[in-house]
Amino acid sequence: MKLRLVFLFLTFPFLLSAQTKKHKKKPVHHTIAPKTAMQEFYSSRKLSPDSAATPYLYYQVYDWIGTGYKYSGETRKGIDCSGFVSEMYKKVYCIPLSGGSRDIWTVVSPVEKNELKEGDILFFKIKKGQISHVGIYLGNNKFAHASVHSGVIVSDLDEEYYKRSFFKGGRMGAGKSNAEKAKAIAGNEKAIEKKIAANPQKKTGGSAAAKTTDDKLAVKKSANKKAADNQQKKTTGTTAGAKSTEKSTAAPKPAAPVQKPAAKKPAAKPADNKVKLENTGAKKADTKK
């Protein structure tokens, strides 16, 4: 009897564990694939990622939907319109874009509204008649962009606000070779560098950047040359002043006497000569008498 009790005591935990495993239900995972949610999002806007030329563009746009707007932002914490377009082009097409909406306009080829294709960049003139907003075209008149009030969203070009402010589409590579695109992008980056260099106080927080050694040498040479020129001017001025003083203190020379021209006697006329001869002859006759 004691042996049976010991046996039951030893085997009871194993029997209980086996019974529990038998009746234990496997958990059912009711997970919804992200692709399904994305398809529902786009289907409600009459878009289909499966039929897109570049489905990865749709995946990237959907991944950023709901991100808040932040001026000059480029992260999940906040992004602006040009930052969003640049992010899409970098991730989807491996094409670097930099600068604002007007800078991006300089590196694309213009495309009319009726010729838009998936991936084209859309430009809007909202502020003061200048390009001030960009988005990326998805198809069926829909485009993704970072709105100031709503963040990253998908909108329709037929909406009155965007219909009124739409300017043109832009296409990377349309009519341009890869070398031309690279040159345009490099020029865009140089233009931005020039803007930064033109405002060094903004970059350094109010203090001008230190001059290089070459600049210091050039300034020093210029200062030395200027000092030498000033010294030469002073020396020249002193010499000229001394000469002027000598001239003013010297005794004036006496003026030479003015000689009057001798008066010319008028030539004797023939009649006068005859009278003189007659008078002389008369005087001689009187003397003889």
Catalytic residues: 81, 133, 145
What does each C-alpha distance from 62 to 35, 78, 91, 111, 135 come to in angstroms? 10, 16, 13, 25, 14
> What backbone torsions phi and psi does residue 67 show, to the nearest 5 degrees?
-65, 135
Q: What is the Cα 208 distance to its own chain's centre?
A: 19
| Type and span of the H or E element at 143 | strand 142-147
Alpha carbons within 13 A on the beta-carbon side of 148: 4
Cross-strand bridge partners of residue 124 = 133, 166
d(CA 289, CA 284): 9
Query: Could you tell me whether strands 142-147 and 130-139 are parallel, antiparallel, or unpaired per DSSP bridges?
Result: antiparallel
Angle subtended by helix axes 55-64 and 81-88, to nearest 10:
140
In the block, residue with structure tokens 């001239």: 247
Phi, psi values for residue 145, rounded to 5°: -165, 170
What is the pairing mode between strands 109-111 and 74-75? unpaired
CB–CB of 108/97 below 8 Å?
no
Q: Which of 15, 16, 58, 67 is nearest to 37 (CA)?
A: 58
